[in-house]
Structure 1
Amino acid sequence: MFPHEWENYFKFCFVRDPHDQALSEYSHQRRNSGGEFDFDYFLKALTGEVEDQDITPSGLISNWPLYTIDDRVVVDRVGRYESLEQDFSWLCKRLGIPHEGSLLEEKVEKHRRKRSLKDWYDAEGVERVRALYEDEISYFSFPSPLVVEK
């Protein structure tokens, strides 16, 4: 639609580990709906295994279509939520935008989890997230939260 801009503008996006993204969406919906559902039930609702009109993604489940064409990443740079400060600083420097301070301090402290990702997932939950975010997990090699890193 805008060939000059497409060829000449710097295009970027940020991705988040889908396991963390699904858990964040679950926490958001529990907080805002007052619902009494567990994480496993939430994932089943997202994958369509159970029908629950009260559980819906607040945004796209997968952002893959936003930065790909024909399953090819078409942006110039993909930053990661897990390294947001570092990647955002790089981006600001690349674009000549002054940046000081921290992006996440307030939000991280407000929503800090008391449990790690591996405490939330079982094998079935990992498979459900894999089904929802297959492209991102494959392309960016996001590990399963059940894999113990050495």
Structure 2
Amino acid sequence: MLLSHKHNFLFVHIAKTGGTSVRTALSKYRWGHKYSLPQFVCSKLSQMTGHHIGSKFPRHSKVIAAKEMLPGDYFEQLYKFVFVRNPWDLQVSSFHHIKRERPKVMAGKDDFETFLKWKFDPERPYQYHIDTSIELQTDYLVDLHGNVIVDFIGHYENLQQDFNSVCDKLKLPTIELPHKRKATDRKTYHDYYTDETAELVAKHFKRDIDILGYSFD
């Protein structure tokens, strides 16, 4: 999550949705307000000591965290935006990320079909990196009653175009997004799935698919 006091925006960062590129483009706008110096000092002290003192929101916080922690009138006037991604494509991206960054988590289940079936197995023991990768994207967008409380939902599939719309709204210069963590080593997500594994994703992410308007095709 990225908050700019000066430009009155809150970016809700869902993992594997192009958010690292968006965050890189907008990170300079965190500063330039009267709390910048104490915020910077507190953040560095937090990193150095390992004692998290809450000087900023964690990278992948849900919007409800900001709603609960910020003053109500201040939260309401922020322009809150997020980027989402087709759930089937997101799971392919997550598979490659875990395989590359945390191969031990896979426990030898390093082909996509085997891994995905294990991932969605209700009897599987909890594993942080696995369970966080199957959180619903819509959980990041809603309040405690399930109401969507962000102002703009951009899509990974139209990342630059939707990001330009955000910049226009905020009256910021149009920025060409850097290609952070862009994958060049894989097929389209359709090629990874069987009918069975595609249905696993469809069932688990039904709310995302319904609200965000995605389909397998």
TM range (shorter): 0.7 to 0.9
Shift of residue 121, structure 1, vs aligned partner? 0.8
The residue type paired with residue 140 of structure 2 is L
Instruction: Choose the corresponding residue for 2:178, options 103, 114, 120.
Output: 103
Q: Give the C-alpha shift of residue 88 in structure 1.
A: 0.8
In structure 2, runs of 5+ residues without a counterpart are 1-67
**Aligned twin of 1:90:** 165
Distance change >3 Å, CA 23–CA 3, structure 1 → 2: same
| Corresponding residue of 2:93 | 24
Q: Which residue of 2 aligns with 1:135?
A: 207
Which protein is bigger by CA-based radius of gyration?
2
Superposition deviation, residue 107 in structure 1: 3.0
Counterpart Cα distance in 1 of 2:122 and 2:111: 14
- Mapped to 2, the partners of 1:114 and 1:23 lie a distance apart of 9
The answer to whether the Cα contact below 8 Å between 1:11 and 1:77 also exists between their aligned partners in 2 is yes
Report the CA distance shift for 1:119/1:60 in structure 2 as closer, same or farther (over 3 A): closer
For 2:10, the equivalent position in structure 1 comes to none
CA deviation string 1:84-123 (max 9, x = no partner): 111111101111222332333x532xx1243111110111
1:100 to 1:73, Cα distance in 2 relative to 1, 3 A? same
Alignment of 1:14-93 (within 5 A): 14-34=83-103, 35=106, 36=108, 37-49=110-122, 51=124, 56-57=130-131, 59=133, 61-69=135-143, 70-93=145-168
Q: Distance in 2 between matches of 1:44 and 1:28?
A: 17
For the residue of structure 2 that corresponds to 1:45, the secondary structure is helix
Instruction: Work out the percentage of aligned pairs sharing the same amino acid.
Output: 25
Do the aligned partners of residues 123 and 60 (structure 1) sit closer, same or farther apart at CA in structure 2, a change above 3 Å counting?
Answer: closer
- 2:160–2:176 Cα contact (<8 Å) kept: no
Contact 2:94–2:133 (8 Å) recurs in 1: no
Distance change in 2, residues 1:116/1:59 (3 Å): closer
What is the match of residue 74 of structure 2? 5
* Residues 95 and 112 in structure 2, CA contact (< 8 A), matched pair in contact too: yes
Q: Secondary structure at the match of 2:79?
A: coil
Q: What is the Cα deviation at residue 140 of structure 1?
A: 1.8
Query: Post-superposition shift, 1:18?
Result: 0.7
Deviates more, 1:63-72 or 1:77-86: 63-72
TM-score (norm 2): 0.58
Count of matched residue pairs = 142
Aligned AA for 1:67? L
